């Protein structure tokens, strides 16, 4: 059974009502994104509220809309956020990205998402977990197309996907007037193939940077680069 809560340095994440629990992907993305100069942010598929809280911790001026299509999940995110100093700056909404884009005329300096991406894998008997893990409710095309419309002139979109999505993401960015500003290829160990890609897209064309991040030197022994990235969040780093 998963632990019903996860303790970070400045907040606690309860996850008993959420289909998807705290994982390395969310922590990686929340620590990696560029939050500088952003005043408004949108966290798509907020889940437990983890990334919304991480971005609020990293930028004290940031106001965040955190959205999710699962009502129980939104309630859990609200509970996690309520007891923190970041609560006044985070607004949780039970709404899909598609509905948000149609209902509100909002622009965001930062859009971030740890999205569903298990297209071909066997679906879970738990409907909530299936919805959290699969692209039925939000395809990669929809995520990029709608986000491009919601970004402010200086806005940035940051996502984490399986490494196999790299070419698709680059193609969709080009088709929707977005430019690559950062890419990090994530390797579980020095000898493994890349497992994830962290990618930042912007409306402004700048020379982009691409690098690699290795998480573990060996089992449970983390690299200096990974430790430096997440040290403000994990208790034992």
Q: Which of 1-10, 40-49, 176-185 has the lowest mean pLDDT?
A: 1-10
Mean pLDDT of the chain: 90
Please report whether residue 41 resides in a domain: yes
Please report whether residue 112 resides in a domain: yes
Determine the distance from the C-alpha atom of residue 187 to the mean position of all C-alpha atoms in its chain, rounded to a whole number. Answer: 18
The string of pLDDT tens digits covering residues 182-223 is 999 999 999 999 999 999 999 999 898 999 999 999 988 999
The whole-angstrom separation of Cα 194 and Cα 165 is: 12
Domain residues for the domain of 78 are: 5-230
* Maximal C-alpha separation, the chain: 48
> What would the two tokens of residue 9 be?
């340095």
Q: Which residues pair with 8 in a beta bridge?
A: 234
Q: How many domains does the chain have?
A: 1
Pairing relationship of beta strands 209-214 and 179-187 according to DSSP bridges: parallel
pLDDT score of 130: 39
Which percentage of the chain shows pLDDT scores above 70?
90
Please report whether residue 157 resides in a domain: yes
Q: How far apart are the first and last CA of the chain?
A: 25
- Residue-wise DSSP of the chain: ---SEEEBSS-EEE-TT-SSPP-HHHHHHHHHS--TT--EEEEET-TTSHHHHHHHHH-TT-EEEEEES-HHHHHHHHHHHHTSTTGGGEEEEE--HHHHHHH----EEEEEE-----SSSPPPSSHHHHHHHSTTSS-HHHHHHHHHHHEEEEEEEEEEEEGGGHHHHHHHHHHTT-EEEEEEEEESSTTSPP-EEEEEEESS----EEEEEE-EEETTEE-HHHHHHHTTTBTT-
The whole-angstrom separation of Cα 156 and Cα 110 is: 5
The string of pLDDT tens digits covering residues 103-149 is 999 999 999 999 876 443 333 344 433 333 334 678 999 999 999 99
Please report whether residue 66 resides in a domain: yes
CATH number for the domain including 197? 3.40.50.150
Please report whether residue 183 resides in a domain: yes
Residue 66 has pLDDT above 50, yes or no: yes
Please report whether residue 235 resides in a domain: no
- Predicted model pTM: 0.90
Please report whether residue 13 resides in a domain: yes
Please report whether residue 211 resides in a domain: yes
């Amino acid at each position: 059974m998963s632990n019903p809560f996860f303790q970070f340095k400045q907040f606690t994440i309860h996850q008993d009502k959420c289909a998807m629990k705290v994982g390395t992907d969310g922590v990686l993305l929340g620590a990696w994104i560029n939050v500088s100069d952003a005043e408004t942010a949108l966290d798509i598929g907020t889940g437990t509220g983890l990334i919304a809280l991480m971005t609020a911790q990293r930028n004290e001026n940031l106001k965040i809309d955190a959205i999710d299509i699962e009502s129980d999940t939104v309630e859990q995110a609200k509970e996690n956020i309520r007891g923190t100093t970041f609560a006044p700056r985070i607004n949780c909404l039970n709404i899909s990205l598609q509905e948000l884009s149609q209902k509100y005329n909002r622009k965001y300096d930062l859009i971030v998402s740890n999205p569903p991406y298990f297209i071909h894998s066997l679906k879970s008997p738990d409907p909530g977990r299936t919805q959290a893990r699969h692209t039925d409710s939000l395809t990669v095309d929809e995520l990029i197309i709608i986000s491009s419309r919601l970004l402010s002139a200086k806005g940035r979109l940051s996502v984490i996907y399986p490494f196999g999505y790299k070419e698709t993401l680059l193609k969709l960015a080009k088709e929707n007037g977005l430019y690559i500003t950062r890419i990090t290829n994530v390797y579980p160990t020095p000898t493994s193939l890349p497992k994830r890609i962290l990618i930042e897209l912007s409306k402004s064309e700048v020379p982009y940077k691409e690098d690699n991040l290795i998480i573990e030197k060996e089992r449970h022994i983390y690299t200096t680069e990974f430790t430096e990235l997440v040290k403000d969040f994990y208790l034992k780093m």
